[in-house]
Structure 1
Amino acid sequence: MGKYIAARKPVLDSNQEVFAYEIIFKNSIEEKGLSENSKLFIEEISDDIKFFENSNLADGKKVFIHFNADLIQSEVPQLVSKDNLGIEISEDIKLKNEIINTIKKLKDNGCLLILNQSVKNPAVNLYEYADIIKIDYKKASKTEHRSFIETIRNKNSSQIKFLAQNIDEHHQFKEAKAAGFDYFQGVFFTKADMVNDSGTPGYKINYLNVLKELNKADVDFDKIEKLIKNDISMSFSLLKTINSASYGYNVASIKQASALLGVKGLKKWSLLYLINGLKDDKPNILFVNTLTRAKFAESLAEEFNAADKSEDLFTMGIFSMLDAFLNRSMAKIMEETALTEEIKEAILIREGVMGEILNLVIAFERVKWDQVALIERKNQLDPKKLYNKYLKAVDFAYETMGVLIKKQK
């Protein structure tokens, strides 16, 4: 791991599969000019980009990095993999001849070039080099976007792809898709699609009922046994878990398996089983995001002097994403679930220490560096330590997803 702290924003295709991750640095390296220490800077940033390419942050996808004029003309593009790197060119870059010549060379050398663009103030002299044109969806109307895309494709190349950023609601995703965009960036996939709310299917209600029982003050294992037995795949998953090498048991009874795992073990198993079972009609990135959020929140307990709340923080992280899985309002989900008032208040109104942790986790997830820095200062947190926890949470998400998918086969 290199010098710079960073997080990622997924770039999704029209099927909501991840095409790439934009890596955004916390300390705004793109705003820094190269000084007399430019050689050291170039080595550091090259090392960091290579780290991202090879880590779970990239997950084997393309990595988009925002380049200013200095970075474009530096040695960085030549030092990293052309197969995985996408160079984002700022829309306000001054297009001097040497910049245009460098961009042309990068294109000729096989770099993927993403041109940040304004519909109302286009930089037409760069279109012939662009592989992807990135546009802020909120800064123009649907009609303007459609007209712009059609014009560029007719005058330049039909191979140019278009990326809509700031897609924060499902209806915007559908509109942008209809307007001709190929890729989409924003938090829409983490939100409930209320238009598609057709009620919660029976098997999903069963998952929620298990969690509801587990979060009661007096856990009734007989009732939990009946609920788990109502779902064959849930029963199979529980027995496979308890009989795995991690636990080393050999039991065939749901009740015995529940007792051996205990309330804490059952809670964690059921939370993971819940979101795995809910993800069938949702993009994989939502599943990854949920696991990352839960693990990151859990890992922050000690930093906030709340070690006794680590288990509840994991639960909070999972439940804070359930509206997106169920296409229901969070208020309704909270009404129907036996969670502690502290968890509910953290999710609904971001109150208390758990609410503060959730704010921090979501700010990191959405790459809101100003908000992250504010919470760090307020709570005297070590930024590098937080970053390490974030990276470990991302690793946990992919490892857990891999284990769960393997168990289904």
Structure 2
Amino acid sequence: MVSDFLMARQPIFDRNGKVYAYELLYRTAAGGPAGPLSAEAEHRSIVNAVVEVGLSRLAGSKLAFFNVSPQMLHSVCIELLPPDRVVLELLENTVLDAATERRMAQLKSKGYRLAYDDFTFQPHQLPFMSKVGLVKIDVMDTPWQHVQAGVARMKANGVVLLAEKVEDRAMYDRCVLAGFDLFQGYFFSKPQTVTAKGIDPQTAVVLKLLNKLNRPDVSAAELEEAIAHDPTLAAKLLKMVNSAGFGTTQKIGSVFTAIQMLGIQKLQAFATVLAASSVATPGSQACGDLGLVRARMCERMARDLNLEKPHKHFTVGLLSVLDAMMDLPMRQIVAELSLSDDVTEALIDPRSPGNLGRVLRLAKAFERGAWSGFGGGLNLNSLNQTYSDAVEGTFAMA
């Protein structure tokens, strides 16, 4: 059942900085990891949970990478996953014996893509290079000289190479130059710039809109005026509200009507999506999606914990990605916005002791699959549902 498992996802990018796939992270709600497991019933429960939530809700039209333990590899339940939608990741403790080779060949004949996780160039791992189509190399824990030599060898054999644990833009650039095809890590959610710089006109328009949206007394007329200053902003807003994802029965032709229909929270989300589209840094769109999901998670946790003003937690989650998206220091961004002191503190201080900062840290932990600290009033089933709903909502905003 879905309630028995916690699920999250991490984007995988191509060389153009676009999302290529998502790796699905999962764990039993009781606290133990979902794999490796030995019982067929438990294997089936994991797969059923993914199928029940729906790959489309978690990954949209992208591929989904799915961790497969040595025991699960031999389980028939993984064949419930559609071969055209998933990449099966063999864990590093998989032993390439005769039975494993036969099973891998069988799955490949049925159309499944196979990958090898955490490749570190150990002797027992080398035979896998010719058996899988994709290899994930841990660029954080593998000596760089081994990485460079291995990349050249694998590329010559037609293996698709994925750099994992790419934690900053410098490492991303290094891996691009080394010849990697795909990239995974949290580099996309961190700004490259650490010093203040000028704000370009398009970004300034979005910041002014966000500034007005953070005022509790803002009127629809004021928001209309702010949006009207940029015709492209107005056109994008009308295009979004008239899209199929919003379920409007009549075409909306007025910015004022669109503002009334959406409300403050959805307008904040709209402005964040615009911020993502106004920059060209690798992963900027994925970062915008992350902000939307994080905002919903912060709001849900605030409600579960009976904290005041859940909408404030929504705002903190949403704005927490702006530094990475705009490649500006967070202090420079908050200086442009009329934010309350507690919101400002939560955004600029990663150890903020207040509830806003605490909930933001929990939301970030959920995204990474670091679920060990959850409990104490938090409804994990509710969080799972909120997460999958929020992820699905990002596809409607695209």
Q: Corresponding residue for 1:279?
A: 276
Spell out, residue by residue over 1:377-401, the C-alpha distance to the aligned partner (whole angstroms, 9 max, x if none). Answer: 3x332222221121122122223x0
How far off its partner does 1:235 sit? Answer: 4.3
What is the match of residue 151 of structure 2?
Answer: 149
Matched, 1:187 2:186: yes
Unaligned segments of structure 1, at least 5 residues: 403-409
The residue that corresponds to 1:112 in the other structure is 113
Partner of 2:324: 324
Quick one: percent identity of the two aligned structures? 24
Aligned positions of 1:32-111 closer than 5 A: 32-34=37-39, 38=40, 40-51=41-52, 53-111=54-112
Partners of 1:327 and 1:317 lie apart in 2 by 17
- Whether the aligned pair in 1 keeps the contact of 2:53 and 2:388 (CA below 8 Å) is no
Q: 1:90 to 1:210 in 2, by over 3 A?
A: closer
Of stretches 169-178 and 240-249 in structure 1, the one that deviates more from structure 2 is 240-249
Structure ranking higher in helix proportion? 1
- Displacement of 1:169 in angstroms is 0.7
Q: Which residue of 2 aligns with 1:24?
A: 25
- Give a deviation string over 1:87-125, Cα, whole Å, max 9, x none: 111112233332233223323333211112433414122
Q: Give the 3-state SS of the residue equivalent to 1:55 in structure 2.
A: helix
Query: C-alpha displacement at 1:178, in angstroms?
Result: 1.0
- Aligned amino acid, residue 338 of structure 1: S
Q: Secondary structure at the match of 1:300?
A: helix
User: What residue number does 1:209 align with?
Assistant: 208
CA distance in 2, matches of 1:359, 1:239: 34
CA distance in 1, matches of 2:247, 2:101: 59
Of 371, 384, 389, the residue aligned with 1:387 is 384
Distance 2:153 2:83 in 1: 29
- State the aligned residue count: 383
CA gap of 1:51–1:62, structure 2 versus 1, over 3 A, is: farther
Amino acid at match of 1:6: M
Q: Residues of 1 paired with 2:196 and 2:298: CA distance? A: 28
Aligned partners of 1:204 and 1:296: how far apart in 2? 26
How far 1:168 sits from its partner (Å)? 1.3
How much does 1:72 deviate? 1.0
1:33 maps to amino acid: S
CA contact (8 A) 2:36 2:71 kept: no
One-letter amino acid of the counterpart of residue 334, structure 1: V
Gaps of 5+ in 2: none
State the structure with more CA Rg.
1
1:60 deviates by 2.3
Maintained 8 Å contact 1:242/1:261: no
Match of 2:366 in 1: 364
- What is the TM-score normalised by the length of structure 2? 0.85
Structure 1 residues 236 and 185: alpha-carbon distance in aligned structure 2, compared to 1, 3 A threshold = closer
Deviation at 1:161, TM superposition (A): 0.3
Q: How far apart, CA to CA, are the structure 2 residues paired with 1:248 and 1:85?
A: 38
Change (3 A) 1:63 1:240: closer
